[in-house]
Chain A
Amino acid sequence: MLSIRNLEAGIDGKPILRGLSLEIGKGEVHAIMGPNGSGKSTLAHILAGRDGYEITGGEVIYEGRNLLEMPTEERAREGVFLAFQYPVEIPGVSNIYLLKAALNAVRKHRGEGELDAMDFLKLVKDRMNLVEMDEQFLYRPVNEGFSGGEKKRNEILQMAVLQPKLGILDETDSGLDIDALRVVANGVNALRGPERSLMLVTHYQRLLDYIVPDYVHVLAGGRIVKSGDRGLALELESRGYGWIEEELREGA
């Protein structure tokens, strides 16, 4: 459902992704691991449609369409969802307002009618249970004054409400204590299914103890340099990233 082929991209003339290729099939969970600065977050934001990146080569095909030509909101409507590493605070816009606007935009795009207020609230409350969020968060401004853990739960709540086809989780584990990590992971696991693919972008293996991936890839120097199964993540945890960089140098 997602096919990234030789993607080259950078920012301000500085190359970050240098020929990245990756195939994600329907219902699969892929973990993208790599050292800091390897381009993991850049990849996540390019897929979600952040402005400011220069695409200098390659292509991204999502469900048979050229993803990079689609406006940001259209990607979201077509089922791409990015859970931000640093969710943005939006003073004056309440959480419920955002959820409603987002869900209605998606439903409209799918040719479904808007949910009435009662059904909407029922759906949202049901999804809030999934990430153990209190109802009061609905009426607070988006992410404003939320703790790190609350922000990450809020991201997963949005994902649970929007039911994307491709969920990209950018460092969702960063800044979470073990309890919050468990809650977030339970929420994500509940969203796994044959119709939904996930890309977990993470520096640490820890998250993968809770959300077990089908495939693990190592991103270094702007390319996928190694792919494997969960065992690769465990190896990275015990040996660090240094050996991969060495292997790369030897291979060069």
Chain B
Amino acid sequence: MSAVMEPGEHYRVDFERLCGDLPGARTPWVRRRREAALARFAERGFPTTRDEAWKYTDPGVIARRAFAPAPAAAPVPAPEALEPFRIKGLDCHRLVFLDGRLAPDLSDVGALPPGVVAGGLARTLEEAPDSVEDRLGRYAGDEDNGFAALNTAFLTDGVHLHLPPGAVLDRPVHVLHLSTGAGDGTVVHPRNLVVAGAGSRAVLIETYAGLHEAACLTNVQTEVLLGEGARVEHYKLQQEGDKAFHIADTGVYLPARARYRSHVIDAGGRLVRNEIRVRLDGAGSECVLNGLYLLGARQHVDNHTVIDHLAPEGTSREYYKGVLEGHSRSVFSGKVIVHPGARYTDALQANHNLLLSENAEADIRPQLEIYADDVKCAHGATVGRLDPDALYYLKSRAIDEDAARSLLIYAFANDVLDRLPLEPVRAYLERTLTARLLHGRKVEELI
């Protein structure tokens, strides 16, 4: 390897080496898009804090490091290693990806309604690339975001969920993206594509997790395309290892009366970015973005949301809460743009943070841009500490300091979990998060 290589240059070298083996390599349009994306990445590079959208999250620590593609043959973990990420009581179609590639032996998709696809995107690109030609990349973030461009260049695998018009998926699809953490400095580029035809319904649950403490990078991109009146419920449970980098970009397209609800839960990772861009492009469409982050040590989590109201009578609701300990830091950016013609838009946004340490920091950036009449837009944001009056009140009721604090923290976070419609997911998170948040302390005894 040359010592004078520009930062990021090794990605081109890796690309030259790997591109013949990446999925869809024989399909001209796939190859053209990969090359265009790589060229875009070469031109833009990684974002820096000089980019407005990355002001509070410095990707330099990723940019400076030469992440190598994870080996194609990931070590297959023992089944019990997956247990902590199983959601008890959830009857689901299960897909497991190891280091970015579908692991059929660990997956259990089961029976699907006619015409429904729930599998690996790599397989689609190999066997039926034409079925996704006009969809893949349509709402990608490649143009503005070097990470997204890199994802398109290297995209290996990810979930491909396709629902024909009117299809109703009764059982949720649970996708476990697992980093086996073979070593520091590896990168995977998961790519997910959800196409939900008019009037269709589906629930997608994604878990991102690491099996080992490795400084690896997960650079994921997800596109969610709904048809008219379609409804998609999307959970993302981010439980990466403590040293992991997780950069995610999600683009969502909503035509008339479509509804997309997202629940992003961040518990793991060293540096995490969840970008969600939603285009409400048809009358009466609706999006809900909920989030909860529970951070400690030196974790940094950035939730970056952009909601474009392009059509009348759209509704958007954002509700993010975070609990921060140690030297952790959170960023919430909520941009809502009500474009001309998007009359009767109804947009609400809230972000509340509970700081448990002097050294934790929460940055909040609400941005409302309104270019239409007759709209309702509001936002609320708080950064606070545990209420001393509430602590005193609880202690005066015989509850000790530790338990009182636990109870108040639990109540703060549980408010978001209470909004999760799927009971097994809620219960799973309550178990895992409560234990993490309270260091396994006394709330368990109180319940």
The answer to whether B390 touches A88, judged by C-beta atoms less than 8 angstroms apart, is: yes
Is A73 touching B411 in the complex (CB atoms < 8 A)?
A: no
State A88–B387 Cα separation when bound (angstroms): 10
B2 to chain A: which residues have CB within 8 Å? none
Partner of A90, one of B401, B411, B415, B446: B411
Check if B392 sits within 8 Å of A76, measured CB to CB.
no
Say yes or no: B397 contacts A162, CB within 8 Å. Answer: yes
* Cα A90 to Cα B393 with chains together (Å): 9
Please report which residues of chain B, range 386-419, place their CB below 8 angstroms from some CB of chain A when the two chains form the complex.
Answer: 387-390, 392-401, 403-404, 407-408, 410-412, 414-415
- List which A74-127 residues lie within 8 A (CB) of chain B: 75-77, 81-82, 84, 87-93, 97-98, 100-102, 104-106, 109
Q: Are A76 and B390 in contact (CB under 8 A)?
A: no
A93–B401 Cα distance when bound, in Å, is 16
Chain B interface mostly helix, strand, loop or mixed?
helix
Cβ–Cβ contact B399 & A93, under 8 A = no
Closest partner residue, chain B, to A78 (CB atom) = B398
**A90 touching B408, Cβ below 8 Å:** yes
User: Is B397 a contact partner of A98 (Cβ separation < 8 A)?
Assistant: yes
Q: Given B395, B408, B410, which contacts A72 in the complex, CB threshold below 8 Å?
A: B395
CB of A106 within 8 A of CB of B446, answer no
Interface-centre pick from B390, B394, B415 (highest chain A CB count, 10 A): B394
Shortest distance from the beta carbon of B287 to any chain A beta carbon, whole Å:
25
B36 to chain A, nearest CB (A): 49
The interface residues of chain B lying within 8 Å CB-to-CB of A71 are: 395, 400-401
Contacts of B410 in A (CB 8 A): 92
| B410: nearest chain-A partner, CB-CB | A92
Question: Of A49, A89, A101, which is within 8 A of B396 by CB?
Answer: A49
Cα-based distance from A50 to B393 in the complex (angstroms): 9
Contact of A51 among B388, B398, B446 (CB under 8 A): B388
Instruction: Say whether A76 contacts B403, CB under 8 Å.
Output: no
| CB <8 Å contact, A76 and B395 | yes
Number of interface residues of B (CB under 8 A): 24
Q: Are B392 and A50 in contact (CB under 8 A)?
A: yes
Chain B nearest CB: distance from A173 CB in Å? 20
A48/B408 in contact, CB under 8 A: no
Contact in complex: A102, B397 (CB < 8 Å): yes
B367-401 contacts to A (CB < 8 Å): 387-390, 392-401
A73 / chain B contacts, CB cutoff of 8 Å: 395-396, 398-401, 404
Cα(A49)–Cα(B404), bound, Å: 15
Q: How far is B411's CA from A92's CA once the two chains are assembled, in angstroms?
A: 4
CA distance A182 to B389 in the complex (A): 28
The answer, yes or no, to whether A158 is at the interface (CB within 8 Å) is yes
Q: Tell whether, in the assembled complex, residue B446 and residue A76 are in contact, meaning their CB atoms are under 8 Å apart.
A: no
Contact (Cβ within 8 A) A98 B394: yes
Interface of chain A residues 7 through 24 with chain B (CB within 8 A) = none
Q: Which residue of A lies closest to B397 (CB)?
A: A102
Q: Specify the chain A residue showing the minimal Cβ separation from B392.
A: A50
Q: A77 is contacted by which of B398, B415, B446 (Cβ under 8 Å)?
A: B398
- Our pick among B398, B403, B411 for the contact of A91 (Cβ within 8 Å) is B411
A199 to B407 Cα, complex, angstroms: 30
Give, as a whole number of angstroms, the nearest-CB distance from A22 to chain B.
Answer: 20
The interface residues of chain B lying within 8 Å CB-to-CB of A162 are: 397-398
In the complex, chain A residues whose CB is within 8 Å of the CB of B394: 90, 98
Instruction: Scan A24-63; emit 1 where CB is below 8 A from any B CB, else 0.
Output: 0000000000000000000000001111000000000000
A84 and B395 alpha carbons, distance in the complex (Å): 13
Contacts of A104 in B (CB 8 A): 446
User: Which residues of B are found within 8 Å of A93, using beta-carbon distances?
Assistant: 407-408, 411
Shortest distance between the CB of B96 and any CB in chain A (Å) = 35
| Least CB distance, A163 to chain B, in whole angstroms | 12
Residue of A nearest to B414 (CB): A92
- Bound: A89/B401 CA distance, A: 18
- Which residue of chain A is the closest to B403 with respect to CB atoms? A101
Determine the distance from Cα of A87 to Cα of B394 in the docked complex, in whole angstroms.
11
Structural contact, A48 and B414, CB atoms closer than 8 A: no
Q: Which residue of B lies closest to A80 (CB)?
A: B396
Cα of A162 to Cα of B446 in the assembled complex, Å: 16
Contacts of A89 in B (CB 8 A): 390
Q: In the bound complex, what is the Cα–Cα distance between A81 and B396 (angstroms)? A: 7
The smallest beta-carbon distance between B1 and chain A, in angstroms, is: 54
A90 to B415, CA, bound (A): 12
Q: Kindly list chain B residues whose C-beta atoms are within 8 Å of the C-beta of A100.
A: 446
Query: Are B392 and A51 in contact, CB atoms less than 8 angstroms apart?
Result: yes
Q: What is the minimal beta-carbon distance from B397 to any residue of chain A, in angstroms?
A: 4
For A48, A71, A76, A87, the residue with the greatest tally of chain B CB atoms inside 10 Å of its CB is A76
B86 to chain A, nearest CB (A): 28
Minimum distance in angstroms from B447 CB to a CB of chain A:
8
State in angstroms the CA–CA spacing of A109 and B392 once bound together. 19
A209-241 interface mask toward B, CB cutoff 8 Å, 1 = contact, 0 = none? 000000000000000000000000000000000
Residues in chain B near residue A106, CB distance under 8 A = 398
Chain A positions within 8 Å of B412 at CB level: 92
**Chain B residues within an 8 Å CB radius of A72:** 392, 395-396
Q: Given known contacts A50-B392, A84-B393, A87-B393, is B399 in contact with A101 (CB within 8 Å)?
A: yes
Contact, CB under 8 Å: B415 / A92: yes
Report yes or no: B411 in contact with A102, Cβ–Cβ below 8 A: no
Task: Enumerate chain A residues within 8 angstroms of B407, measured Cβ to Cβ.
Answer: 93, 97, 101
- Indicate if the CB atoms of A105 and B399 lie closer than 8 Å: yes
Assembly CA distance A98 to B407 (angstroms): 9
Interface digits, B246-279 against A, CB 8 Å rule (1 contact, 0 not)? 0000000000000000000000000000000000
A92-B415, A101-B446, A102-B397 known, 18 other contacts, Cβ within 8 Å: A49-B392, A49-B396, A71-B401, A72-B395, A72-B396, A73-B395, A73-B401, A88-B387, A88-B392, A90-B411, A101-B397, A101-B399, A102-B398, A104-B446, A105-B400, A105-B403, A109-B398, A162-B398
B residues engaging A (CB < 8 A)?
387-390, 392-401, 403-404, 407-408, 410-412, 414-415, 446
Q: Shortest 4 CB-CB distances between A and B: which pairs?
A: A92-B411, A76-B398, A88-B393, A72-B395
11 CB contacts below 8 A, A to B, read: A49-B396, A72-B396, A73-B399, A88-B393, A89-B390, A92-B411, A92-B415, A97-B407, A98-B397, A109-B398, A162-B397
